């Protein structure tokens, strides 16, 4: 890296792949809703939609001063754009923290330890984000290899439990198919994160590289769904965390504690995702006041995430359901990937004519 602070396109894609993988293995129909509309077919179609919109977003981020969805950092319009992107990044951080707490208190510890889990996650995420994007990217390659090895161990452990009679291609109605495709797009906050991190790249991502990345995400998601389907069948759709249920039901004697392997993978991926979006949020919040990013901004944003996630998790059940429903509408992802870059592009073009 030569101390430049810039990272390669491949490093960024690996880092965001790890971040997205957290959602793939932590998916919970009972918490997030709409599980019956997410099938192998809608997942693959959603990958195509995500690729198209990401390529359009990258094109809209081309500016006279570089590549970013944010216009030149001066004046009110910059504050509005930056403020909205800060809000979006914080929504993803809180979404990650709430899902993490819910999983750990449901599968590992009981409800009493939720506060301790939240504090530990927020502190660890802030420490990781303090290393900077370059530090996170350096570990992305190693973590990807470890993720692959862990998934291979789990796949071997589950192999004898696969029942190919469970394999079905569910054909939904056109309306449900469209809703399933949209839900896959709606929860992929890494799409707008990629646009915000364009200034940190040594090169510019091309259309082919964006398409390959989103295709890899779609195939990984389809593989996780296929594994759960073959292992649990229709029973999996009624479980809060079907992937973890499949892992803990493994009967392959050579690997007696596959649930521990899964837990380590899930914790590491959750930490990576929180660190990436805390890094984004801290830079955006500092930019709103035209200040340089430093560790105080990171810890300040982590404190906000901690407070918000605990309020949602400990508060009335309707709060968390409403939060997940709002995220599943796709407004955050659509605005971050397409509409805000378009607004910035129009304003940048207006400045060029002046």
Please provide the DSSP assignment of 52-119 as one string: HHHHHHHHHTEETTEE-SS--S-HHHHHHHHHHHHHHHHHHHHHHHHHHHHHHHHHTS-GGGHHHHHH
- Residue 259's pLDDT band, with cuts at 50, 70 and 90, is low
Looking at domain 9-343, its CATH superfamily turns out to be Amino acid/polyamine transporter I (1.20.1740.10)
Q: What is the mean pLDDT of residues 232-236?
A: 72
- Residue 251's pLDDT band, with cuts at 50, 70 and 90, is low
Q: What is the spatial distance between Cα 50 and Cα 56, in angstroms, rounded to a whole number?
A: 10
Could you tell me if 287 and 72 are in contact, meaning their C-beta atoms sit under 8 angstroms apart? no
Whole-number pLDDT of residue 213:
92
Judge whether residue 302 has pLDDT over 90: yes
Most confident range (mean pLDDT) of 29-43, 64-78, 241-255 is: 64-78
Q: What is the DSSP letter of 289?
A: T
Q: What is the spatial distance between Cα 262 and Cα 222, in angstroms, rounded to a whole number?
A: 18
Q: What is the spatial distance between Cα 333 and Cα 331, in angstroms, rounded to a whole number?
A: 6
Cross-strand pairs, 66? 63
Report helix, strand or coil for 7.
strand
Q: What is the spatial distance between Cα 67 and Cα 57, in angstroms, rounded to a whole number?
A: 11
Greater model confidence, 123 or 140? 123
Handedness of CA 152, 217, 36, 48 (dihedral sign): negative
């Amino acid at each position: 890296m030569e101390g430049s602070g810039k990272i390669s396109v491949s490093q960024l894609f690996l880092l965001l792949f790890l971040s997205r993988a957290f959602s793939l293995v932590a998916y919970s129909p009972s918490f997030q809703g709409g599980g019956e509309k997410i099938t192998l077919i809608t997942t693959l179609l959603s990958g195509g939609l995500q690729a198209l919109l990401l390529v359009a977003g990258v094109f809209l981020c081309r500016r006279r001063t570089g590549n970013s969805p944010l216009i030149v950092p001066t004046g009110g319009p910059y504050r509005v754009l930056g403020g909205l992107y800060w809000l979006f990044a914080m929504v993803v951080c809180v979404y990650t923290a709430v899902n993490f707490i819910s999983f750990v208190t449901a599968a590992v510890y009981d409800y009493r330890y939720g506060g301790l889990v939240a504090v530990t996650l927020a502190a660890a995420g802030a420490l990781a984000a303090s290393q900077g994007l370059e530090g996170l990217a350096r570990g992305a390659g190693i973590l990807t290899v470890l993720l692959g090895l862990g998934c291979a161990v789990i796949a071997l452990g589950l192999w004898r439990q696969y029942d190919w009679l469970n394999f079905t291609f569910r054909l939904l109605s056109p309306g449900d198919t469209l809703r399933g495709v949209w839900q896959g797009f709606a929860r992929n906050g890494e799409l707008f994160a990629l646009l915000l991190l364009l200034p940190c790249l040594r090169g510019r991502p091309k259309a082919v590289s964006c398409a390959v990345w989103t295709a890899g995400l779609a195939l990984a998601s389809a593989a996780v769904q296929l594994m759960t389907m073959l292992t649990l069948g229709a029973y999996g759709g009624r479980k809060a965390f079907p992937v973890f249920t499949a892992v803990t039901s493994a009967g392959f004697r050579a690997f007696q504690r596959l649930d521990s392997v899964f837990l380590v993978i899930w914790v590491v991926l959750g930490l990576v995702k929180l660190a990436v979006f805390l890094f984004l949020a801290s830079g955006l919040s500092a930019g709103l006041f035209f200040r340089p990013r430093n560790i105080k901004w990171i810890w300040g944003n982590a404190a906000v995430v901690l407070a918000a996630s605990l309020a949602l998790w400990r508060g009335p059940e309707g709060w968390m359901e409403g939060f997940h429903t709002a995220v599943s509408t796709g407004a955050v992802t659509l605005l971050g990937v397409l509409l805000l870059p378009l607004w910035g592009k129009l304003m940048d073009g207006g400045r060029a004519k002046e």
